[in-house]
Amino acid sequence: MNSFLDNLNTREKNLIFVALFLVIIAVLFISIRSTVENLNFSSKQLEKAKSDYEYVVAKAELLSNATISKPSNIEEIELFIDNLFPESISDLVIVEKDSSLIVSFKTNNLKESISISDEIAFKLGRELNNISYSKNEQDSITKLVFN
């Protein structure tokens, strides 16, 4: 290899060194560009993950604020349920009997009763002991018993 370089004149040697220098610069440029693109992509993913996290945290805080604490009285619970489902339920009756809370209401259909029962149980944050659904011609009657 050394004899090959010795046989070349200075102009040819300079051209080879310049070409090698340009190839090295091109490789460095391509690798730096790839690294910067990966960094930008990772930054966008991080921003999206932060945004998603903040959205979930905000919804969780909103949801936790929407629940009612256990020692609430019957009037507060009734007002809370009325505000939650203003047009969906009728004939709401809440009774406290032997350290149990009994919530009974009517809805238009059984599917609505089930979804509202699930929502009430979740929002009240109490242990649900018994659920009973009954259907008559016009509406569905639901009774929930909590500890």
Q: Say whether both 139 and 79 belong to one domain.
A: yes
Beta-strand pair 140-146/100-107: antiparallel
Containing structural domain, residue 23:
2-66
Instruction: List the end-to-end C-alpha distance of the chain, in Å, as a whole number.
Output: 91
Same domain? For 87 and 60 the reply is no
Poorest-pLDDT segment among 11-25, 71-85, 106-120: 71-85
pLDDT tens figures, 65-86: 655 555 467 888 888 888 877 7
Using the 8-state DSSP alphabet, how is residue 138 labeled? S
> What phi-psi label fits residue 38: left (phi over 0), alpha (psi between -120 and 50 degrees) or beta?
alpha
- The last residue of a domain, from among 15, 44, 66: 66
Residues 99-111 pLDDT 10s:
888 999 988 888 8
Residue 13 pLDDT > 70:
yes
Give the model's pLDDT for residue 25.
Answer: 98
The pLDDT of residue 117 is: 86
CA distance 127 to 121: 8
79/142 same-domain check: yes
**138 against 32, higher pLDDT:** 32
pLDDT value of position 69: 54
What is the radius of gyration, based on Cα positions, of the chain? 36
120 and 82 fall within a common domain: yes
- Per-residue pLDDT at 125: 76
Residue 145 has pLDDT above 60, yes or no: yes
pLDDT at 22 (0 to 100): 97
Same domain, 43 and 83: no
pLDDT of residue 77: 81
Q: Kindly report the CATH number assigned to the domain that includes residue 83.
A: 3.30.70
- 48 and 11 in one domain? yes
Based on the fold, state whether residues 82 and 110 are members of the same structural domain: yes
DSSP structure string for 80-120: HHHHHSTTT-EEEEEEEETTEEEEEEEESSHHHHHHHHHHH
Most confident of 50-59, 64-73, 113-122, 131-140: 50-59
